[in-house]
Structure 1
């Protein structure tokens, strides 16, 4: 089961946080900082799997498969996509899940970048809702995910998003290049 889906930029600012278990806000904030610090400190050549930080790590006596135990992440240009899950989830399947998630965002936003996630947060959450329900992965077919998001009407038109960015005096400089590095 997936316990949380997190998206951070390179500066550690959360761009999306979705927890599928009840945690106090202070615990969530501490966890966000710990996880970003762990992930950001790793070299690009390091493995994308980590044990959970001490804040939520199970005690040595607990062997329950329902307790979150692992972090799986991918770093694309300016964004980190991070999943916290139980040991029942395959880390390789979670890496594939992140890839499908990013590809769906890329198709819906037409070369997604960090600002698209900020101004198009409805689409971001709609994609995640098509893929995960209550911490359980329910869909990984890219075409079905995109079809479901478009059918829900959560896709913000590109023109509307660009106008919103321009109105806020933000530009698409090199710092906000698409997450695929194009």
Structure 2
């Protein structure tokens, strides 16, 4: 199973995250975002979470004010993609402590990093939430260490130039 792209769209139609695993030009990406936003946001809540679109299937799930969407081939398993979406949301919840749209707006780099730990080239890479959480914690630790080193280095430079 290959995921062609991942979209996170707010209820107002604002795109909060995109990850493209198949080649699309910038013009095509804009058209896809506009088209799918209109299709998904206009659907009634009681309808199924699968949409046939341009020979593909778009699987989406709404969590609070966000729609998590993934595009797959016609013959791929929709339920597996729903599980991947739920898995991603659970990891985001664990990391942010009840994730909300603002977490993704202000920490989009973390949302991308988590997605990259989960999916590579549109295929599920890591199914263990504990492993992903451990990798994210290690990355956060590296970032903190780098910030501390940069801060101490700039202090040394500032004192040396006085």
Q: State which structure, 1 or 2, has the greater radius of gyration over its C-alpha atoms.
A: 2
Q: Distance in 2 between matches of 1:152 and 1:88?
A: 36
Q: Give the corresponding residue for 2:37.
A: 36
How many residues align? The count is 143
| Inter-CA distance 74–94: structure 2 relative to 1 (3 Å threshold) | same
Deviation at 1:156, TM superposition (A): 9.1
Deviations 1:37-87 (A, max 9, x none): 1111111111001111xxxx24xxxxxxxxxx1100001111000001123
Residue from 88, 97, 105 that aligns with 2:92:
105
Q: Give the corresponding residue for 2:134.
A: 147
RMSD: 1.9
Q: Give the corresponding residue for 1:166.
A: none
Q: Distance in 2 between matches of 1:123 and 1:39?
A: 25
Q: Distance in 2 between matches of 1:73 and 1:156?
A: 33
TM-score (norm 1): 0.74
Is 2:105 aligned against 1:118? yes
SS in 2 for 1:75: strand
TM-score (norm 2): 0.83
Q: Distance in 2 between matches of 1:48 and 1:152?
A: 34
| Inter-CA distance 35–155: structure 2 relative to 1 (3 Å threshold) | farther
Q: Give the corresponding residue for 1:6.
A: 7
Deviations 1:148-181 (A, max 9, x none): 2222228999xxxxxxxxxxxxxxxxxxxxxxxx
Is 2:73 aligned against 1:86? yes
Deviation at 1:89, TM superposition (A): 2.9
Q: Distance in 2 between matches of 1:16 and 1:77?
A: 16
List runs of 5+ in structure 2 lacking aligned partners: 145-162
Q: Distance in 1 between matches of 2:142 and 2:39?
A: 33
SS in 1 for 2:22: coil
